[in-house]
Amino acid sequence: MATSGGPEIEQLIQLMARLPGLGPRSARRAVLQLIKKKETLMVPLSAALDRAVDAVRTCDVCGNIDTRSPCGICSDPRRGEGGILIVVEDVSDLWALERAGVGMVKYHVLGGVLSPLDGVGPEDLSIDSLVKRAPEFSEIVLAVNATVEGQTTAHYITDRLAGMGVKVTRLAHGVPVGGELDYLDEGTLSQALKARTVI
């Protein structure tokens, strides 16, 4: 549906609608808000986007997105060598773990998961560079999603790391903190029971 604001505004709405979580209506509202607050929001946002286009890069070591490579996490001397390496599917997962304050760990971003139906094989992910990095660490934590593709990827990586003398673990799956058993699906309950721990 076209707007009555001209082709530049329509293009802005269409571009905003491509962002995850924004459909055409949300994009239209966001654009209207930008236009209403042109000097305090739109101009600074435009300038920040211009700077980001030139400054943002992918870390050559872990795959994080930063303004330098190696990134701030890989360059942080407090994170040291020989500790824990957490393997994630995407940069958003890395950022979520950092927000959660999981500790002074390092990361490796795979860039997705194995998905033969979508044509994504091992060569499309950063698994080879993970295998090269693995001997530097005492433990590799596979923090992939509990989907079929995520679990397939975890199995593949575990097989590739077998015999390297590094401990490979996975995130626990099951009942979330504050979760009520009555509201959980059978698969989650089954996994939680299998992964039970001694208290």
Q: What is the pLDDT of residues 118-157, one digit of tens each?
A: 999 999 999 999 999 999 999 999 999 888 999 999 999 9
Question: Is this model's pTM higher than 0.75 or not?
Answer: yes
Rounded Cα distance between 104 and 76, Å, is: 9
Q: Write out pLDDT tens, residues 73-131.
A: 999 999 877 799 999 999 999 999 999 888 899 999 999 999 999 999 999 999 999 99
Instruction: Give how far Cα 92 sits from Cα of 64, 68, 98, 144, Å.
Output: 9, 18, 10, 12
pLDDT of residue 181: 67
Cβ proximity of 178 and 184 under 8 Å: no
